[in-house]
Chain A
Amino acid sequence: MASDHDELTAAFHLLREAARRSAVARQLQGDVEQALLRSIVEATATLFDAEAASIAIFEREPDRLEFRVAAGAQGAAAVGLSVPPSQGIVGYVFSTGQALALSDVLADPRFDRRTAERTGYVPRSIAAVPLIDGQHPVGVLQVLDKRGSATFSLRDMELLGAFAAQAAAAINATRVQRDTSRLLREVFRELGDVELDEAAVESLVSAATADLDRDEEAPFWRLVDQVSQLNGMTDRELTLVSDILEVVGRHATRPGRRG
């Protein structure tokens, strides 16, 4: 029994370690998802020479596709808008997983003109492709009004699909981080209240740690560990460390003043 207890304790510590790392990583990295997605829509808008490119992500309660990032001269106003997944071109692409493009969108009475007008921009053409994370659609990448052409070619659709695959990978990568901490919270709650058999704990541990970066030597994880060790410091000591980091940060963004 003693060894069971020891193993449970070890598992508990491992989980705590994982949770700590996950939380610190999130803290250190900031909103990686947002930054990655923005770089993808910016690349998309530039490459297509389009008036706008944007990514809508599926969110629940209520079910909606929320425009999270946008680029291009006409893109900015779309950010923050939501459309139901049962509506519009973006909704269709999300619901079916089928990429499609429509031109002379203005003549299309089903085009969600109200959403377009809220952004102050009504497009003439739109191409939209699904973002698929493994088996599930998680959002849609859309491009509005390619400047050089009134319509989108097969090559355009394939290229857009490649960008969508990148966006889905970015969403997946950051979701793993979010899901890890959610899972760990659940596990802690369970461990506190009920007795788990060894196998259950083991499977929870492996589920919780499977996606964590185990490379202890990576500079990033060294930094995470160092920062996480600051937990026990007094406020005064933390302020000092923070001041030092601020100076380092300022230095890093002004290469001209280095040295």
Chain B
Amino acid sequence: MTEPLLPAWSEPFAGEGSGLLRSVRVDAIGREWAWGGSTGAGVTVAIIDSGLERQHQALHGRVVESVAVEMLDGEPKVVPDDAGDLFGHGTACGGIILGLAPDVELVSVRVLGADLRGKGAAFLAGLEWAVERGVQVANLSLSSKSAALFPAFHEVVDQAYFRGTALVSAANNVTGASYPSLFASVFSVAAHAVADPWRIYYNPAPPVEFGAWGVDVPIAWKDGGSTVATGNSFAAPHIAGLVALIVSKHPGLSPFELKAVLAAVADNPRS
């Protein structure tokens, strides 16, 4: 068997999840139990991305802190940030999360910028900072392919797992490994095309474990704007938002318990 040219992570979620039939009964937990009545209050979500536009109406004043990673003499340093959102992407993710969990608090960890073009070290430092800060959920719409950073990413992702921080990571449709999106303990997410922010799928054939809406998603964008976007990076914040709702209602659930709850309430067809 030859390797496919590219991982088609969204493939299992096509056609309303018809290929995801589950016979294992894990649906004793329902959505009402999972997040009924929850607004995400008391939960802090880190957006590790291009920054957040605090004044954007989609973020309705929920940004409580903004930091950026700067590279000083080759060493990453986390500093307070007032640059807003350089691309609009972080704001888009924040908006999606608040659309599901309107009362979460958002922390912006900007790891992209003029001097940071996709530097794995900056991304790693931002992730470490977020875990140290004790956020309950972090949304990661980027990942690194640097093999040299594998051990460091592995360490911080384990640290997050043991501390109970849910790392929600957009799957990356490129060949080869990417960190941390394909680590076992993160919530790895690819896009499905059903226009429903509440529709999620559990994929029993990892590495990508969850499917959420990521096609033609109306999103907030830079300079108070909005647009329509497609990509796995818009699917991930839907899962992050749902995780925030569950954590808000059931504080103390560990990442594997949160995954089990998501799998239980997923829209997979049941036999």
Contact = CB atoms under 8 A, between A and B. Distances in A.
B254 interface: no
Interface stretch (B100-108, B140-148, B157-165): B140-148
Interface residues of B, number: 51
Residues of A contacting B: mostly: mixed
A107 B113 contact: no
Nearest to A130: B174
B156 interface: no
B233 A109 contact: no
Contacts of A89: 87
Interface string A79-99: 000001111110110111111
B219 to A, nearest CB: 9
Interface in B93-137: 112-114, 116-118
B5 interface: yes
A86 B14 contact: no
A161 B223 contact: no
Contacts of A98: 141-142, 170, 172, 231-233
Interface stretch (A11-19, A147-155, A185-193, A230-238): A147-155
Contacts of B224: 109
Residues of B contacting A: mostly: loop
A245 B249 CA distance: 79
Interface residues of A, number: 43
B117 A110 contact: no
Contacts of B54: none
A88 B50 CA distance: 12
A132 B175 contact: yes
B89 A97 contact: no
A30 to B, nearest CB: 27
A97 B142 contact: yes
A242 B242 CA distance: 71
A108 B221 contact: yes
Nearest to B236: A98
Contacts of A132: 145, 174-176
B78 interface: no
A157 interface: yes
- Most B C-beta atoms less than 10 A away, residue of A103, A129, A132, A135: A135
A104 B230 contact: no
Interface of B: 5-6, 8, 10-11, 14, 50, 86-89, 112-114, 116-118, 141-147, 170, 172-176, 178, 191-193, 214-216, 221-234
28 contacts: A85-B117, A86-B116, A92-B89, A95-B142, A97-B174, A98-B170, A98-B172, A99-B232, A100-B233, A102-B227, A102-B229, A103-B227, A103-B229, A108-B225, A109-B222, A110-B225, A127-B230, A130-B174, A132-B145, A135-B145, A153-B215, A153-B230, A154-B193, A157-B230, A158-B6, A161-B6, A161-B173, A164-B174
Given A92-B112, A110-B88, A132-B175, 16 more contacts: A85-B117, A86-B113, A86-B114, A89-B87, A96-B141, A97-B172, A98-B170, A101-B229, A105-B227, A108-B222, A109-B221, A109-B224, A136-B145, A154-B10, A157-B10, A158-B8
